[in-house]
Structure 1
Amino acid sequence: MPMCPKPIVDAPTVEPAEYGLFSVAQRPAPEGAHWRCGVRWEPYACDAGDAYGDQCDDPEQEKSIRDGVPLAEADSFSVHDGYLCRLPGRPDEAEIRDRAETQLKLGEQRLVERVVWTGEAGTQTVDPHLADPAAVVLNAVPVPTAADALSLPAAIAALEAYLGANYGGRGVIHAPRLAAAHIAHAQLAAPAGATIRTLLGNAIAFYSGSPNTGPDGSTAPAGTAWLYVTGAVFIRSGPALIIPNAVEAGFNRATNEVLMIAEREYVVGWDCVHAAVLADLDLPEPA
């Protein structure tokens, strides 16, 4: 083998991961800057109303309407990545800044998914999050074991039945990425443009940032996966912030290192529905 220095070349081009949380969420334009403190909203699709019979004999029968509108809310959080390097022989400021921004861009969906699944952001708990004891568990027992797991078709059916009974629109099924091939093999969903949808049109987000934990925080048994369903999901996010805004400000003269961080603020929320089911990933062999 020749003894010569290895030159630095361009890294391979990376294609962003598809069919995750970012593929199913609505991205409304931020309204001013106050969303960074978290937001509240009044959902439309969480009240089923009521029904009455023929009113010809009693046209003035009293109609009951629920008082007020349920108020939903979501907390804010930030994700970041960066570049720490020794300056001699390294790229200029523009390249350092570009590397920090690119690393954040390629990793932030996974970071956001982890926060949305677990609620963990540093020392704080972010709400809403999926693995929350408030989620309605649709298995026969509140804390299911592997023996209580539903087959994948039964699990998807249970989630969509619960969604249909409690929500007036399409929702989102949230699943760990390890469930994707199993769901495809069972022909339970298929790509529809940039989103994967079930037969009923509900979107599925496959999380790279999922630890596959249930509402009680415990990891799913081997061969199973926790799936969640929610109402429509939105994401509000701001521009990437570069901290500090110049290499000189991030230069540590004691170590001859420079640190530049790219950070983005997020708020992720969903309408009213929040249920979970433990699914068995193994399909029975055909008879």
Structure 2
Amino acid sequence: MGLIPGQIVTPPEPGLRRYGLFNAASGPLDLPAPHGEGGGIRYTPVTCGEAYAYGVTCYGGEVAAPAKPLDGGNPEVATGVFLALATLECTQVGYTEAELRAQVVRRLEASEQPTVERALWSGLDFEGNALDILSLDAEAEPVTGGYDPDLITDVVGALERYAYTENGYGYAATIHAPIEAAAFAAEAGLILQDGPRKVTPLGSVWAFGAYPLGEVIVTGQVTLWRAQEAQVHTAFDRETNLRLMVAERAWAASFDCLAGRATFTPLGS
């Protein structure tokens, strides 16, 4: 034990952010202000739809040309906006307000990824209230077919068949999996590095995140939007001499075309 208090130094800068949704998704794009920050976003996706094989026979006479399928437009994707926020309540003695603002913003930045992941999966806030946003849990349908929920290879195979064969998705799908699934997928040789992203041998993008145990969900392309700057609100309690800082940033998240879920219970968990 030292004879005097330790020297206050500049805190070390954070290292690499762990791999997750922020790597797998497109964006984050700038959330349009003020309309987007107040009402969310909506768009018609261009990654969905089906094409068909059609013959080049010269039809005529007794052989009528097959009717060509007439598909309608893609359904609009719409999602609301939510806030990721961090708070700091402490004495201001020894700190300037600018230093406290910097502290709470860094706290927000450190925890935004798991916050966005949990919101995207559940559609709920930290107290379990509905956020009125597009969510994986609400949209994903069960993937049927024979697969062993104990085997990550079976689970990934079933999800990729659902995306690419049953739904005819022509781009790289996104596989949302709980953190624990990463070790099983790596052991099975299902994780390849593709630039900043981790993908399956077929090219599906992994999004390992703060998701609940027991399921893995496949979707089309995932896109994130966020406000350009975090907003900081401050208040001072004259009775307790405490400064309250709140840092918050608006986010929106979407996924296109499909959402299918498969059970994953390694070791019966």
Decide: shared fold, TM above 0.5: yes
Is contact 2:235-2:243 (8 Å) kept? yes
Q: Tell me the TM-score normalised to structure 1 length.
A: 0.82
Counterparts of residues 88-127 of structure 1 (less than 5 Å): 88-89=93-94, 91-121=95-125, 122=127, 123-127=129-133
Q: Does 1:273 align with 2:258?
A: yes
Q: Does 1:239 align with 2:244?
A: no
What corresponds to 1:17 in structure 2?
17
Q: Which amino acid is the alignment partner of residue 113 of structure 1?
A: E
What corresponds to 1:190 in structure 2?
192
Which structure 2 segments of 5+ residues have no match?
none
Q: Does 1:66 align with 2:71?
A: yes
Is contact 2:31-2:251 (8 Å) kept? no
Q: CA deviation at 1:88?
A: 1.8
What corresponds to 1:79 in structure 2?
84
Q: CA deviation at 1:80?
A: 0.5
What corresponds to 1:34 in structure 2?
35
> What is the CA–CA distance in structure 1 between the aligned matches of 2:3 and 2:97, rounded to whole Å?
32
Which structure 1 segments of 5+ residues have no match?
142-146, 213-219, 221-225, 283-287
Other structure's SS at 2:88 match:
strand
1:88-114: CA deviations, max 9, x gaps? 22x212211111111111110111111
Q: Tell me the TM-score normalised to structure 2 length.
A: 0.87
Counterparts of residues 91-170 of structure 1 (less than 5 Å): 91-121=95-125, 122=127, 123-132=129-138, 134-139=139-144, 149-165=149-165, 166=167, 167-170=169-172
Q: CA deviation at 1:42?
A: 1.2
> What is the CA–CA distance in structure 1 between the aligned matches of 2:101 and 2:255, rounded to whole Å?
33
Q: Choose 112-121 or 44-53, whichever is displaced more.
A: 44-53
Q: CA deviation at 1:43?
A: 1.7
> What is the CA–CA distance in structure 2 between the aligned matches of 1:210 and 1:92, rounded to whole Å?
38
Q: Does 1:179 align with 2:175?
A: no
1:162-212: CA deviations, max 9, x gaps? 1102122111000111111111111011221211011111110110x2232
What corresponds to 1:144 in structure 2?
none
What corresponds to 1:217 in structure 2?
none
What corresponds to 2:5 in structure 1?
5
1:91-138: CA deviations, max 9, x gaps? 212211111111111110111111111111253234321222x42212
Other structure's SS at 1:81 match:
strand
> What is the CA–CA distance in structure 2 between the aligned matches of 1:2 and 1:156, rounded to whole Å?
55
> What is the CA–CA distance in structure 1 between the aligned matches of 2:72 and 2:257, rounded to whole Å?
17
User: Cα RMSD (Å) of the superposition?
Assistant: 2.4
Is contact 2:32-2:227 (8 Å) kept? no
> What is the CA–CA distance in structure 1 between the aligned matches of 2:244 and 2:68, rounded to whole Å?
64
Q: Choose 104-113 or 65-74, whichever is displaced more.
A: 65-74
Q: Choose 258-267 or 162-171, whichever is displaced more.
A: 162-171
> What is the CA–CA distance in structure 2 between the aligned matches of 1:34 and 1:63, rounded to whole Å?
41
Identity of aligned residues (%): 31
